A and B are shown apart, each in its own frame.
Chain A
Amino acid sequence: MITAIQQLESYLESFSELEKLAAGHALPWLRNLRQDAFARFCEAGFPTTHDEDWRFTNVSAIAQTAFRLTCNRRVRLSQQELEPYRVPGVAYQLVFVNGHFARELSLLGKLPDGVKVNGLAEEISSNPGAIEPHLGRYLDIRRDAFCALNTAFVQDGAYVHIRRGTLVEEPICLLFVSTSDDAPSMSHPRNLIVAEEDSQATFVEDYVSLDGGTVFCNTATELVAGDHTVLSHYMIEREHTGAFNVSTLRIQQGRSANVVSHSVLLGGALVRNNVHPVLAGEGGECLINGLFIGNGHQHLDNYMLVEHGSPRCGSRQFYNGILDGHAHGVFHGRIIVHKDAQKTDAKQTNRNLLLSDDAQIDTKPQLEIYADDVKCTHGATIGQIEGDALFYLRSRGIDEVSARKLLLFAFASECLDRMKQGPVRRHVEGLINRCLLPMANSAPGVSTENHREDTGRNWEEIA
C-alpha cells in the first residue's frame, strides 16, 4: 500500500481547494457525498495487482504521479483547434475542456422538447433538486477507488434529462478534451444521464487530448434508463499515448429497458474501461459491444460487470481486440446472476488478434450464478492473421498490405456492424481505419517505407 498513498497529500490539497470553490459547495448533501467519497478513497488507496479486479493492470504509474486539477487555470481553446475532433454531421456536441463544460465551444443545435442538456456544475447551481435524487446513487464508491476519487472531485460534466416518451433521434455528443501544461494534470468528469420512461436517445462520450503531455482523465457516468427506454451509449477513447484514462459507465436499467453500450478503445497509454449495467427491472436487455486496438506500449483494460437482478433479462457481451507491438489487452467479463433473476440469458464472447510476438492479452470470464434457471455462456479466442486467408486474398491480386488491412478491418467490423448506421458509426469507422493502416503496413516482410515508427511512450516509464 506504500505506493498507493504516496501522492495522497497532493490529492488532499486539491480536494480542500475544490471543496471551497466547487459548484454546490454550500449544499450539505453534496458536501457529504464528496467527503464520504474522499474518505473512502483515502482508506482504500489505489488498487494493486493483488486485487482480483486489477490483476492484469498495474496502476502504479497513476498512483506515483502528482496530478494537479486544472480547474483554476481555465484553458482557452479556439473553434479551429477543436474542428478536427468533432463528429461530422452531428448538430449537438457539448465540449468539455479538462472536465469543464465549455459552452462557447459547444454546438447547441435544436433538440426536441423534453430534452434538457447542460453542464453538471451549472445544473447543480441552478437546479440542485433535479440532481440530488440521482447523483452518486448508482456508482459504487465502495468497490472501486477510482469511482470514489471521481465522486470526491465531482464538479462538472454533462447533465442530460429526457422526459417521458421523448424520442431523440440526433445523437448527443460529449467531447472531452484534455490539455496538459508542464505538470501532469487530472480531471474527473462526471456525467449524469436520466432517461425517463419510454424515451429513446443516443449518447456519445468521446475522449481526446490535444497534446502529448501526461494527463489523467478519471471519468464516471451514471446512466439511468427508465422503464421501456431504448438507449445507446458510445465510449470512444482516442487520447494521445501520454494519457491515462479510467472510465466507468454505470447503467441502471428499468423494466424492459433496452440499452446498448459500445466501447471503442484506440488511444491512451493506460486505459481502463468499466461497464457496469444492473438489470434491475424485469425483461431488460443489454448489449455490450467493444473493440480495442492497441499498439506500441498501450495497455487497454476492459472490465465488465453485468448484474442480472430481475427475471427474464438478456445480456450480450461481444469484445474484439487487435494488439500489435508490445500492447497489452485485458478482457475481464464478470456476470452476476442474483437469486431472483430466473430465466436469465447471458452470453459473453471475446475474440482477439495478436499481430506481434510481444503483444499480450489476458482474458477472463467470471460467472457467479445464484439463480437456478438460467442460460449463461462464455467463450474466448486468441489468434493471428490467418496465413491461408492472407494467401487467398493475395492470390487474387490484392497486395499484402491491402490484404492485411482487409482482414483486420473485417475483424473490427464485427463490432462496427453492431452499431446503428449514421454519423457516429461513420465517425468510428474512420477512426478505426486510421488506426489499422499502420498495423497493416507493419507486416513482417513488407517494405517498411510507409511504416510509422512507434513514438508512443512506455506508460510504465512515465512515472
Chain B
Amino acid sequence: MKVADIVKKLNLKVHSCKNSLDKQVTGGYCSDLLSDVMGNANEGELWITLQVHKNIIAVASLKEISAILLVKGLKPPQEVIDLSEKENIPILGSDLPAFELAGKLYQLLGKI
C-alpha cells in the first residue's frame, strides 16, 4: 500500500512532500524515543510519533522510513517541514492519538 492510499483511507493531513506520497508502506513503528527508532524501526515503515524535533527527519532518512505520522494534531515547525522536503520524507498528521492511529493502520495493512 502506498503512503497516498493511507492518507486517503485514514483521512490524514499532509504537512510536507505533497507530491511524493508514492512510497510503499510495509508496516508501522510507534515510538517517541529517537534512539529507539534508530535501533528498531525498519525500512518502509510508517513512523507514528509525537516528536516534532527536526532530528526526526534525519532518523527517518537514516532508517528509510516511508513517512512520519504526527499524532494528536501536532504540527511540525517550519524548519522541520523544510528539512523534510529536502530529504523527501513526507510528514503526515492526524488529530487522533497514537493508540487509535496504530490500530487503524494495523487493520489497514491487513495485519489482523
**A and B are partners in one complex rather than unrelated chains:** no
A interface list, Cβ under 8 A from B = none
